[in-house]
Structure 1
């Protein structure tokens, strides 16, 4: 018989809400929160461990097969569940999961690999969209350098549709990453519009290669530009001068994979 929670004052519910609202709390506890059947399944398949999975009253425990990865299953009374969930009424499962280590020591170079590097991205939704895009295209790995937001922000998880749990992901500082790329002789293509930049279709995508995109408002820091093998840009029409970073990344990555 599973435990049933009906009060917002329950210690587990209070902790869930704390983790949802505060990045500092997520970092201190090395935990994240997640909502939705699809996202939870992808996390469990990605071998993430869970402290708790909450189930809305009246719905079955569809995650029982993953019981070895879950410390506790708890039922939440329906009215309370709808109050604490992001998408009130549309999802019936919530979870508190344990984060993983994404540091540079986990980087594994593939001889013919294509990598995407995103530098100083600040919007959780953009990071989630980048992860989802790279996962869909089957890229070798996605690297966040000097991110300006928490990778386990609930908005990142939601916009990635759970792809964050199945994509090869590294988080590090730009200085260390540039040194590693140069040491490994990886072909670096940085997105930049200046007199030396070339249209992306004219660039050489010799493998292994890394495509670098930056903050939409500020662009890339100088060290990326000065250490790149090629600086590239996407030609645009109809007086459009920029694209969302995930859209631009998708265009560049697909072209690199095709070449």
Structure 2
């Protein structure tokens, strides 16, 4: 059944608007994905979509028609609104006229013990730009990572900019968030997973490192790099050599370079 809503005071419209704020995403365990491609990715995953909000105009697209049909078959709440209402709710500059309210999937480190493969984690140590977080999740999914671990202090992985940056990969790689550094280190040590930290101090060029063992590669805060706590516990420190007086790479770019060296070595 499709509900046609004409008021900004409708509780589901107000819910979607409230999820722009982290405190409501945390409190309700919900977040928003927007745009045809991202909603498609959500539909194709096993994540629970509670509500879909869309405009009549967007129904002109065949892809949107298929999304609506798929969600109706899953008994998702369907809400059609006027473009003027949608524009009050959207968090994008050029909205495509469709969004989904999705229930967060909660993962823990212990979930990964069933994998029985050589672990390949990426650890984000207080990475604060949501665009970087989303891009790194996308790269981790593409590289076949076991999971993405985010320490406390990272940008919210469910913020709209991070979700967009992941291009839907948020639905395809396990994400474990909100852990302290000591919790991460204890888990990795207990399960014989080597810690590799990006650092310029006493480090090796990244392609000289053996990446074939179970490992977790730590990438740090945009301004301060990897914390001393991880640096001190790392079995190896690695860096990317740079030419032409370039001081550093963006953290998401660094992750892409290093993760694909892991992929190359493990083939």
Give the match for residue 218 of structure 1: 224
Give the match for residue 48 of structure 2: 49
Compute the displacement of 1:33 (Å). 1.1
Give the match for residue 18 of structure 1: 18
Give the match for residue 96 of structure 1: 101
Matched residue count: 257
| Contiguous gaps of at least 5 residues in structure 2 | 60-64
Please give the TM-score of this superposition, normalised by the length of structure 2. Answer: 0.89
Give the match for residue 83 of structure 2: 78
- Indicate how the Cα distance of structure 1 residues 233 and 93 shifts in structure 2: closer, same or farther if over 3 A, else same: same
Please give the TM-score of this superposition, normalised by the length of structure 1. Answer: 0.92
Q: Distance in 2 between matches of 1:31 and 1:257?
A: 33
Give the match for residue 193 of structure 1: 200
- Indicate how the Cα distance of structure 1 residues 112 and 223 shifts in structure 2: closer, same or farther if over 3 A, else same: same
- Indicate how the Cα distance of structure 1 residues 90 and 23 shifts in structure 2: closer, same or farther if over 3 A, else same: closer
Compute the displacement of 1:143 (Å). 1.5
Deviations 1:168-201 (A, max 9, x none): 222222211111111111122110111x211112
Q: Distance in 2 between matches of 1:9 and 1:244?
A: 42
Say if 2:122 is the partner of 1:116: yes
| Contiguous gaps of at least 5 residues in structure 1 | none
Report matched runs for 1:1-259 at 5 Å: 2-20=2-20, 22-60=21-59, 61-63=65-67, 64-67=69-72, 69-87=74-92, 90-108=95-113, 110-171=116-177, 172-194=179-201, 196-259=202-265
Q: Distance in 2 between matches of 1:230 and 1:89?
A: 44
**Secondary structure at 1:223 match in 2:** helix
What root-mean-square deviation, in Å, do the aligned CA atoms of Structure 1 and Structure 2 show?
A: 1.8
Deviations 1:93-139 (A, max 9, x none): 11111111123232335433322111111111110010111112222
